[in-house]
Every structure is written in structure tokens, then in C-alpha cells.
Amino acid sequence: MKIYIMKAKRLKRILKEPLVRIVITLMACFMFYNILPLSFVRGALTISMGLKSLLLLFIPFLIFSGTAMAFSSLKNNGLWFIITVMGVIVTSNFLNLMLSGVLGCYVIPCFGPVGQRLPLEETCLHITPFFYFKLPQILPTAWALIVGITSGILSAFFGFPRYLSFVKQVHRLTMGFMLHVFIPTLPLFLMGFVLKLLVEGHMFYFLQTNGRPCAIMIGLLFLYLCLWWYAAHRCSKIPATTLLKNIFPAMVTGATTMSSAAALPFSIEAATKNTKDPVLANAVMPISINFHMVGDTICIPILAVIILNSFAYPLPTFSTYLLFGFCFVLNKFAGAGIPGGTIMVSLPILQHYLGFSEEMLALMTAFYMLIDPITTTGNVTANNFLVIFIKKAWGRITHKASKELVKVN
């Protein structure tokens, strides 16, 4: 009897995992979409549209509170050290984003057809919701980002305890909504949009024509991480196999939980072993593990380009992509600790700067959640290598500063 109870509890824990519930939902959609009544599909789409409207209402407040708290925390540690680390993280994210834009637009097409256009003109069926549930946007996303960063920096230097208390309360409420309301209903959010794409005939065409580009995207991420691995090996003088052995527990934890934050204890332990500096590991890793996301900055822009081409949408101009990249990178400070948090806070940016429709956002979210274990593994792996680079760079800076001090004395 005890064995059956233990198995039931284990099954219950497994079914609570967001990825498992999403996979089950997607499998059910693919298996039964052709026998579901049209009214059911329209009802599911109505629910999905309502959840999307609710998400877009809360996301600006999550961005505002997340960025404000991140930048206000500068005062709690060595100020210039933290500013330096955050500058490295933002620069790395932005450069990765620019690299992935080039890969998506120019490199991947060399391996074959990419983002083949969906035959929109061949379908006579267009699924619409029963009604549109649209909430007013109280705080625009761009203003949320600007106010959050500005107020966070001012709080770091001058301190506003009451304001910070208010920001923490806003963050607590928005995180509560994401963790306890939206993440549990994420399968419902995806179901309506996926059923719409399946019934209209777009989903299978996308999978048939874009499976290879998506596989190449993952392969490019793997090769990019290998370059980081080689560079970390050269910087640390530690055998490459030892580096990977130390990082492996953090990689597995990140892949299974889809959360870099959940892998933090293992990442700190690995960084301590690789740098032989526990103080540095404990100072850098909590910052980088939440905000420095190589897997996301490589995969999301490439996937966005593939989807844009598939829906016959024009690619963004260079200036538009720069604005998209700037907002995308800064939004990294708002999605920490949430499974799929990066794509959630990026939906308004994809819609505003790249012109994504509801169907495109649903396709992006569904595919991102499926590859989230891979991107999270990439995030965790690169963050452990980043600590090695920061140790090398900071060691040179402090060594140079000590030499200058000796000269002065």
C-alpha cells in the first residue's frame, strides 16, 4: 500500500511540473483537434485571449518592480564591483542578441530554406473567439522599464525606504500572479492558440518546413557554448573535463526545473571549485544566474526571425532591431526566477517592435516552453564560465590598481 501511495505522490509531483503539463496539453491538442467541435475551439481561444490580456496588464508592473529592485540592490554590495559585473552582463546579453540576429538572418539560410511562409491564402477557415476580452494597459511597457531603472538607480545612491517597500510589495503581488495564477494556467493559455493553428492548418506546415532551422538553431547554441567552454579552460588553466564535471549538477538541475535560480546552489559550488574563490562565486553567481541568459539571447531572436518569415511578415530594420534588443536585454531584470519568465516579459516587446500577432506569440511561447530546458541549460553553463572570465578580468584590474597605489606611496 505504501508503495502505491509513494508512486501516486511521485506522479502528482511530476504532473505539477509546468513542462509536463504543457507537453500533455500539446499532445492532446494534436491528437484530438480534428474531432473537437468548432465551438470548443472558439471557447478555448476566448480563454487564451483573456489570459493574454491579463498577462499584458501585469507584465509592465513586473518589469517596473523587477528592474527597480535589481538596480536598487547596488548599494548593498561593493558598488563599483556590482556595477562592473552588471555592465558585463548587459553587454554580453546585447552582443549575444546581435549575434543571434545575424545568425538568424544570414547564416541559417545557408543550410537550406528557413522560415517558409505558411499558405495563408489556401485556408478558408479563420477561427475567432466568441468575444475579445481586452483590459486597458495602465502602465506602458516602455515607461515601466524607464521608471524602474531610473528609480532603482536613484534608490541605490540616495535610499528611499518607503518607496522600496512599495516596490517590493508590487513585485510580490505581480510575482504571486505569475507563479500562482498564470503559470498554472499556462496550458490553457497555449491550448486556444495551438488549436486555432491546428484547425486552420498552419501548425503542421510550420513544423514540416521549419524543423531543420530549429535544429540548426540548437546546434549553433551548442557550438557557441563550446567556444565559451574552450575560452574558460584557457583562462582558468583547469582541464576542460574537470570544468564540465564541476558544472554538470547545475546543468542537470537547470534543465529539469527550467529555472536558473533553482540551480543556484549547485552553480555557486561549481564556481567555487572552478575559481578557488568562494567570495567571488557568492558575489557574482546570484547576479549572473538571474540576468545573464546566453541560451535565451541566442535562441529567441533566431526563432522570432523564423516565425516572422513563416507568417510572411517583414524582418525588422536595423534600427528597429536595436530598439528591440535594448528593451529585450533590460527586460532580463524582470523575469528572474519564473519558469519561462524570459518569454513572458518579452511578449509585449515582440508584439510592439517585431509586429507579432496573437498566433505568432502563441507559437513562440509554445516552442520556447518546449526548448526551455535547453535554453536554461545554456544559461546555467555560460554563467559558470562567466565567473571565470570575471575573476580573470577583476584580478587584472585589482593588480593594476595595487601597482598604481604602490607608485603613489
Residue 276 DSSP symbol: S
For residue range 154-176, list pLDDT tens digits in order.
887 777 888 888 988 988 888 78
Q: What percent of the chain has pLDDT over 90?
A: 9
Tally the residues of the chain. Answer: 409
Phi-psi region of 317 (alpha: psi -120 to 50; beta: other; left: phi over 0): beta
Are 232 and 385 within 8 A, CB to CB?
Answer: yes
The CATH class of 18-408 is mainly alpha
For residue range 117-160, list pLDDT tens digits in order.
555 544 456 788 888 777 777 777 767 777 887 888 788 777 78
As a whole number of angstroms, the distance between CA 98 and CA 322 comes to 8
310-318: Cβ within 8 A, 24+ apart: 310/115, 310/116, 310/117, 310/118, 310/206, 310/209, 310/210, 311/117, 311/118, 311/120, 311/357, 311/359, 311/360, 312/117, 312/118, 312/120, 313/354, 313/355, 313/360, 315/105, 316/353, 316/354
In angstroms, how far is CA 146 from the centroid of its own chain? 20
Read off the pTM.
Answer: 0.75
Are 186 and 18 within 8 A, CB to CB?
Answer: yes
pLDDT at residue 408 in the model: 41
Place of cell 516587446: 349
- Out of 9-18, 234-243, 309-318, give the one with best mean pLDDT: 234-243
Q: What's the mean pLDDT when you consider all of the chain?
A: 79
pLDDT at residue 401 in the model: 40
Residues 6+ apart with CB under 8 A from 170: 61, 64, 65
Helices 202-236 and 264-275: crossing angle, nearest 10°?
A: 30
Q: How far is CA 328 from CA 64, 93, 185, 245, 273, in A?
A: 14, 9, 24, 32, 32
**Of 359, 54, 308, nearest to 192 (Cα)?**
359
pLDDT at residue 225 in the model: 94
- Out of 103-107, 307-311, 316-320, give the one with best mean pLDDT: 316-320
pLDDT bucket at 238, cuts 50 / 70 / 90: confident
pLDDT at residue 3 in the model: 63
As a whole number of angstroms, the distance between CA 127 and CA 134 comes to 18
pLDDT at residue 381 in the model: 92
pLDDT bucket at 293, cuts 50 / 70 / 90: confident
For residue range 51-108, list pLDDT tens digits in order.
888 887 887 887 788 778 767 765 555 566 667 777 888 888 899 999 998 888 887 7
- Out of 55-69, 150-164, 195-209, 371-385, give the one with best mean pLDDT: 371-385
Can you give the C-alpha Rg of the chain in angstroms? 22
Largest CA distance in the chain: 84
Q: Does 221 score more than 90 pLDDT?
A: yes
**Of 235, 264, 237, nearest to 251 (Cα)?**
264
Which amino acid, 84?
T
As a whole number of angstroms, the distance between CA 368 and CA 281 comes to 29
More confident residue, 54 or 202: 54
Q: What percent of the chain has pLDDT over 70?
A: 81
Are 263 and 377 within 8 A, CB to CB?
Answer: no
Give me the phi and psi of 197, to 5 degrees please: -65, -35
Here the cell at position 275 is 575559481
Average pLDDT over residues 211-232: 90
